[in-house]
Amino acid sequence: MTRENMIRRLVIRTIIWLAITGVLLFVAAGTVRWPEAWVFLAEFGVLGLASGIAIGRSDPELLRERMTRPIQRGQKRWDKILLMAVFALWTGQYVVAGLDVRFHASHLPLWLEAAGALAIAVGFGVFHAVMLANTFASPVVKIQSERKHQVVSTGPYAVVRHPMYAGAIPMIVGTALLLGSWYALVWSLAVVAALAVRAVLEEQLLTSELEGYATYAARVRYRLVPGVW
């Protein structure tokens, strides 16, 4: 697949994903008159496409890897289960926020919703920095022997061992805040917990199967949040 075709495929995938997300949000809310949801969709669409296209131009192999199926042959069974759980919890947050709007259960101040939008942007920034630093940043936990997989310890990986998951935290929490839902904020804790479990299991695999990872893990102490865990 050529680089141009991959980018075209990325754009189509993004549009489809935004459409599905919009359906979840607006059907749950029972209305399309929800400005925060439109801002959320616009932010995810613009930042996601900008990052994806930039990576596709600088590292087409990484974009190709990230566009592979989330469930693959040879993938560990626990990763298949966790990926499905994370996906269900992540999309479930949209439904919870929509129902919150439908029943007028939460009332967040505008400044807190704006903080949520900023947190999402920070999360995307971390995601992009991770992909610039790590050409092996696959959505699936596996050893990419065909690409001569090796430990990456520069950039955000010099700060925490799982910066992609670390970037997901402000994105998940920011989603709940931008959408104006305290209930979605509580729900987001389950998403973060699932990612934390995946980080621990991923480390076990990398320690046993990726040369040099144990030494790297001993040097970089924290998994997700510096000074915390």
CA distance readout (Å), 205 to 41, 65, 81, 84, 201: 35, 19, 16, 19, 7
pTM above 0.75?
yes
pLDDT, tens digit, 9 for 90 and up, residues 3-56 = 788 889 999 999 999 999 999 999 999 999 999 999 999 999 999 999 999 999
Give residue-wise pLDDT tens across range 133-166: 999 998 888 888 888 899 999 999 999 999 999 9
- Report the pLDDT value the prediction gives residue 111, as an integer from 0 to 100: 98
**How far apart are alpha carbons 223 and 112 in whole angstroms?**
27
Buried b / exposed e over 1-38, threshold 16 CB at 10 Å, is: eeeeebbeebeeebeeebeebbebbbebbeeeebebbe
Q: Integer distance in angstroms from the first to the last C-alpha of the chain? A: 40
pLDDT band at 1 (very low <50, low <70, confident <90, very high): low
**Pseudo-torsion of CA 29, 30, 32, 37, nearest 10°?**
10
* DSSP track, the chain: --HHHHHHHHHHHHHHHHHHHHHHHHHHHT-S--HHHHHHHHHHHHHHHHHHHHHHHH-HHHHHHHTS-SS-TT--HHHHHHHHHHHHHHHHHHHHHHHHHHTT-----HHHHHHHHHHHHHHHHHHHHHHHH-TT--SS----GGGT-----SGGGGT-S-HHHHHHHHHHHHHHHHTT-HHHHHHHHHHHHHHHHHHHHHHHHHHHHSTTHHHHHHHS--SSSTTT-
**Cβ-based neighbours of 192, under 8 Å, separated by 6 or more:** 168, 169, 172, 173
Unique residue bearing structure tokens 């920034």: 125
User: What pLDDT score was predicted for residue 142?
Assistant: 86
φ, ψ at 104 (rounded to 5°)? 55, 45
Q: Which tens digit of pLDDT belongs to each residue from 126-135? A: 999 999 999 9
Sorted by where each starts, the structural domains of the chain and their CATH numbers stand as: 3-219 (1.20.120.1630)
pLDDT value for 75: 81
**pLDDT tens per residue, range 55-113:** 999 999 998 888 888 888 778 889 999 999 999 999 999 999 999 999 999 999 999 99
